[in-house]
Amino acid sequence: MNKSANEERGANDRRQTVPTQTGPPSPRRTTGGSALHIYKPGQGAYVRWGSAAAAAIIVLGLANFLHEQLARVQNEWVQFLIPVALLVVLAYVFFLFLGQSHGVVDFMIATEGEMKKVNWSTRREVLGATKVVIATVIALGVILFTVDIFFMFCFEAIGVLRIGMLARLFGSEVE
């Protein structure tokens, strides 16, 4: 009797329950729809807008450069339409990268998250650090100037240099 009870317990332990779905299968969500949809629209907004502003400056600069280069063309429509077409195409390309490319958008979201973790220095800390850097650079300059003058005197004394350092510094003829 013990043997069959143990076997029955082992059989119950090996038996697994599989959950059953009680309705129709849920449809998969797709990111399709409009050609102007934005991937994760509420996230990474500051980084996206900053990147879009930088891209806009670059695109406008390129369009202006192209417009100036086409000034030699006699047809005003060509001079106007080619830069505008470039502007539209590059604007859409940057929109694809900044608004719809999953990898780029996820990177920008992560970048904004990391920037929120940065401990920015206060104005007082920045001014203090700047004073230390300026004082260190001046002190290093004075030390290097002194060492340089010392070596110039030494090299002049042994005859390697013939520039008359004492005469130039003190205005007298010492040779």
Residue whose pair of structure tokens reads 């980084």 in the numeric block: 47
Rounded Cα distance, 7 and 10, in Å? 5
Last residue of a domain, one of 118, 137, 161: 118
One domain, residues 166 and 128: yes
In the chain, what percentage of residues exceed pLDDT 90? 17
Which pLDDT tens digit goes with each residue over 24-75? 555 444 455 566 777 777 777 788 888 889 989 988 998 889 888 888 877 7
Which pLDDT tens digit goes with each residue over 156-169? 888 887 877 767 77
One domain, residues 114 and 46: yes
Judge whether 19 lies within some domain. Answer: no
Is residue 141's pLDDT more than 90?
A: yes
Judge whether 1 lies within some domain. Answer: no
Is residue 128's pLDDT more than 90?
A: yes
One domain, residues 56 and 107: yes
pTM, whole model, 2 decimals? 0.46
What is the chain's mean pLDDT, rounded?
79
One domain, residues 75 and 113: yes
The number of folded domains in the chain is: 2
Residue 70 · residue 83 · CB < 8 Å: yes
One domain, residues 113 and 47: yes
